[in-house]
Structure 1
């Protein structure tokens, strides 16, 4: 009977592949091929649309183009560097998001890339259809301010007047409906627990959240003021006196021009020269690929994005960008870089809110192995590298973070929800039966912790916290007492963390690469190659992993036109975008403020 059901499941998987996946991809290829043009005309306007959001890193799953925006922060940075040297690209046109759209750290990194692009002498036009008073819109404005000209649609509003964030507290609701949230946290700033146990901000929660929000806001104001040639005080006063209409924003020098996006595109084409054409960023990415460099020596770029978990296999969504860091996979990627004789240093890109302590330690062990092999490790922090994300970064030779990266959160929490009373109100009875020692049923949702169970669990939380303190003390060469003082689960921005000694340098991937060259003693005038780990999966490997189909069947499917290796197919699929749910949650997590 079991074999029968397995056979039926296999048949349905095969039908799904042949009747849904393959036809969809082939249609996308046909559409793309029929309408394809020269990827890069001699006079090109490169259009970067940020309204669909970004991941931090380019996913290794070849089917990830089916989900998300199709672009990553690192892709944007890498591609702008190539476009600056491409004589065919004359102008960059940026479509800004209305309500945040990019995280503060991503906005910082792209702003730096835009400024480097402008140093090549090429103009940048940014166009906005309004700045809404939600989320991190101030970061989107900061990014727009880095352009040569910032345009705004005539009917749009400039409603950025600060930076706000909302938190939902379930404490009263849980009390009302009989849900007993039993958690241990180390310590008062480890605030992810508060949403389950409180009805308002605790003093520590309010203090920490106000501090990192203020740091992000001040950084965005300072950067935008620099690019707009205003003082931070003047720009802040103007912004906080809003909101404004587009005409009022122009009058107050918050933007440069008012016009429809079609007018901005026409101006960009005029500047690019006769016969200029607009090319989408994704098409240009597909045509150019990643920078590989040249030379005898190589720098490895190892990336991990998402919640840290034990095991292997990537994210839960096979068509997504991969929202989990699997410890086996990332540790293996680091060991592969260690064993590659051409690799002289490792840039470890981390963008993670945390996760499993065990998984984090497995990855940190690989970082230690790289250092022991004489290969310096430079961490480049993305949107966040907090809690477990800081654990895996803590013993690197050097840590680079954006001023608005969320990091630290050196702490731990864990616990359970007791649901028996809540379910009992609906006539559902939950009972636990366990065999063995008293702790065997400790995490049953049917009964609260006994005093002995709570004590044992609290002791395990204490041990994990002390291990975390030790990792940070060792890696950052700080006395344990000092680490305990600045830890306590508190989230810091990169700018704050640098002042505290948790981060060495402010910047992005380019600054991390420069430091890796220095630590590896590679001369500045010597060319260097870039090798990326983990290597992207082939479509055959991805299909085998996703559906468990036979090797031969997967090869046949992928062999039909080599569709997923075709840049035109990738470009076409990028246009068919859907929202991708981002996984979250684990045992050692920072707050999730975005």
Structure 2
């Protein structure tokens, strides 16, 4: 009996041993395969990087055009930016439209380097896949285009059609080409947002609004079904001024009048009827373009100007995505460039938003770095969390008090919390089309007790005080409602006192231009909210002046991407490209993003995480033209 039990146990053990042994071997095999896959990807990427660097430098002939073939949108700071992105386009044979975000400042640097590059003899604006940007950024690129043209190198714009953003850039060209069935799509500027009052009522959601400022309209979608009269009046003035400025730039570039550029939609329709709907001929007659030509004719013209490539298939040219920027010489004296691009949230950065903790850490690092002699804060933000904005402001005050000057360069929008964080600056610089001001505070809390009651869910419990159990499933106590309004009132008075102190004005003066009122740059300077009209170049020059620097280097404080992140990104692209290539054999995919644009506020996408539920935020104005 004992021997039988012993034999049985031994057999069981042998089975378990075999299972464990084969399991370990299997795990080892899987681990080896995974490691080898990542190693192969790493080797392929490394080889691709080397070949790309070698080929891009070797392919640039002595007489080449730089093609500004912008794809996607332009932002101050892309959400994820890596130099490996352009290598993967060649390596994986992916199309450039996959590059959704482009750095504004990289574009400026490319144009300025190309202006002085003897191998680059001209510029081609190929903007078909360019989706747009804010007017301030487009004007800044226009400045670089004007510098390029004034160097004696020609600019040619070529496209089947031009939307408003594309045409603003194209207007800087020496010559604008349009294909026979093309058109220039000038419509005007508008604002549009969704209103949710009836929806919230139908869903029995209680929306509690706390605000200060007659013009603080960010909360209107929650409490109304349409725009209020005073907000409609203010937004009408705003879009009309932006449109007038847009037309003024176009008319100067095209050497004509604003009336000729946009004679009114009815006049355009009547003229198109007379011309039997020939949009290209109308564009030529109206001096929107210089020549109507097919791609074949344009291609041959460019070959005559820039010469043919080695294959004889096209003219000598290099894409902006292949054009390598030369790193500047390192210097001991540095100016830190810190970009705040997007809504401001409490805590660290999250995709699409800027974290107060992350920016404060960057500012603190620049303050303690002995090589940093000044900070230029690039603000392109509608604001956000009051707590996060104040955290950033206090760090900037510490920098200024340490003896290092702070200069703010405002982008397309620096409103509400975006203006809050700008107040400690020695100098604030904005463009004429910058949207700023919106000095006001609001809080918003939604509760769902009535919605839950409707479906038979109820909440009950005990507490030690009326405000000890604040929940979205119970009504807000009167005491907490009073407390929230007190928070908002206190934050607003703190805001206007901060602005008054920083701008050397009285609180009464600031209150008159505050209350959530939005201003464009040239109005903001009249009201004393900013110091100068200009761009990032002017901000850098002012920082040099204040820091008394003769030599300097720009130090861009960007989020660093480690090699593991890059490896994972590229592996994802490999898989994505393989799947898309397989699908394309069977399915015709249509990109609706290029055809449909909804101009709506990002109220529902914003991360409402301020610890006091107080926000200095302006989400009513689209950043895209």
Same fold by TM-score, threshold 0.5 exceeded? Answer: yes
Over aligned residue pairs, what C-alpha RMSD do you find?
3.6
Which secondary structure state, in structure 2, belongs to the residue aligned with residue 126 of structure 1? strand
The partner residue of 1:364 within 370, 389, 393 is 393
The partner residue of 2:288 within 233, 254, 274 is 254
The structure, 1 or 2, with the larger RCO (C-alpha pairs under 8 Å, 6+ apart) is 1
Q: Which moved more, 1:148-157 or 1:510-519?
A: 148-157
Find the structure with the greater CA-based Rg: 2
Query: Does structure 2 retain, via aligned residues, the 8 Å contact 1:161–1:240?
Result: no
Structure 1, unaligned stretches of length 5 or more?
1-10, 317-322, 544-556
Rounded to whole Å, the distance in 1 between the matches of 2:32 and 2:469 is 44
> 1:576-591 alignment to 2 at 5 Å?
584-586=606-608, 587-591=615-619
What is the aligned partner in structure 2 of residue 438 from structure 1?
A: 466
* Distance apart, 1:253 and its partner CA: 0.4
> 1:127-206 alignment to 2 at 5 Å?
127-131=158-162, 137=164, 139-206=165-232
Query: Does structure 2 retain, via aligned residues, the 8 Å contact 1:380–1:400?
Result: yes
Q: Which moved more, 1:504-513 or 1:57-66?
A: 57-66
Rounded to whole Å, the distance in 2 between the matches of 1:401 and 1:422 is 46
What is the aligned partner in structure 2 of residue 510 from structure 1?
A: 537
The partner residue of 1:538 within 542, 562, 572 is 562
Which secondary structure state, in structure 1, belongs to the residue aligned with residue 161 of structure 2? coil
Shift of the 22–311 alpha-carbon distance from structure 1 to 2, 3 Å rule, reads: farther
Structure 2, unaligned stretches of length 5 or more?
1-27, 89-97, 273-278, 310-314, 582-590, 594-600, 609-614
* Distance apart, 1:227 and its partner CA: 0.7
Shift of the 214–283 alpha-carbon distance from structure 1 to 2, 3 Å rule, reads: same
> 1:296-445 alignment to 2 at 5 Å?
296-312=332-348, 314-316=349-351, 323-425=352-454, 427-431=455-459, 433=461, 435-442=463-470, 444-445=471-472
Query: Does structure 1 retain, via aligned residues, the 8 Å contact 2:158–2:177?
Result: yes
Rounded to whole Å, the distance in 1 between the matches of 2:38 and 2:519 is 44
* Distance apart, 1:433 and its partner CA: 4.4
Query: Does structure 2 retain, via aligned residues, the 8 Å contact 1:44–1:89?
Result: yes
Rounded to whole Å, the distance in 2 between the matches of 1:296 and 1:330 is 23
Which secondary structure state, in structure 1, belongs to the residue aligned with residue 73 of structure 2? coil
Rounded to whole Å, the distance in 2 between the matches of 1:253 and 1:108 is 21
Q: What is the TM-score when the length of structure 2 is the normalising length?
A: 0.77
Rounded to whole Å, the distance in 2 between the matches of 1:238 and 1:209 is 20
Q: Which moved more, 1:74-83 or 1:41-50?
A: 41-50
What is the aligned partner in structure 2 of residue 4 from structure 1?
A: none
* Distance apart, 1:223 and its partner CA: 0.9
Q: Which moved more, 1:83-92 or 1:455-464?
A: 83-92
> Does 1:73 find its partner at 2:104?
yes
Query: Does structure 2 retain, via aligned residues, the 8 Å contact 1:346–1:376?
Result: yes
* Distance apart, 1:97 and its partner CA: 5.2
Query: Does structure 2 retain, via aligned residues, the 8 Å contact 1:411–1:488?
Result: yes
Rounded to whole Å, the distance in 2 between the matches of 1:563 and 1:391 is 39
Q: What is the TM-score when the length of structure 1 is the normalising length?
A: 0.81
